[in-house]
Amino acid sequence: METLLNDFSPGLFAMQIVILSILIFLMRKFAWKPILNALNDREEGIKTAIDSAESARKELENLQADNANLLKEARAERENLLKEARELKNKMIEDAKEEAKTEANKIIVQAQASIQSEKKAAVAELKNQVANLSISIAEKVVKDELSNKDKQVKLVESMIGEATLN
């Protein structure tokens, strides 16, 4: 330290102070403001990036919540559609069964009516055949009875007797 004090030169010291002052002045004038501006710009950029990231995070949370709600609504709507489809299917099946029963009953009634009309037609045909057969038998019996004159007279008398009695 003693050598420093021995080598001390006040002129050199003053010159170094003047150079340092000029250097500080020049640095302050030309370099300090751009450096501070660059730092301020960088700080603002970082703040903006943080704010943007925060708003993006919030927007993402909102979108996730909206997506969850949309998914719930879609599931509920799907369940409603499936329920309506099941109900419609059951209704269609019930309607088809009811229509089939009605149609079957109609066919049964028509079949019974057809059977009755066929039965009546058969009975009428049978009566006609019995009547024709009876007439044919009666005709043969009458021919046989009327072939003899004495039998004819007796028949007419018995008929007259019956006619007056009734």
pLDDT of residue 2 exceeding 90, the answer is: no
Domain boundaries, the chain: 11-165
E strands along 29-147, which residues? Answer: none
Question: What confidence score (pLDDT) does residue 146 get?
Answer: 67
Question: What confidence score (pLDDT) does residue 68 get?
Answer: 93
Q: What is the mean pLDDT of residues 150-154?
A: 74
CB neighbour list of residue 151: distance below 8 Å, 6 or more residues apart: 145
pLDDT in tens, 12-57: 889 999 999 999 888 888 888 888 888 999 999 999 999 999 999 9
CA within 13 Å, CB half, 44: 6
What does the DSSP 8-state code read for residue 166? -
Task: Supply the mean pLDDT for the chain.
Answer: 87
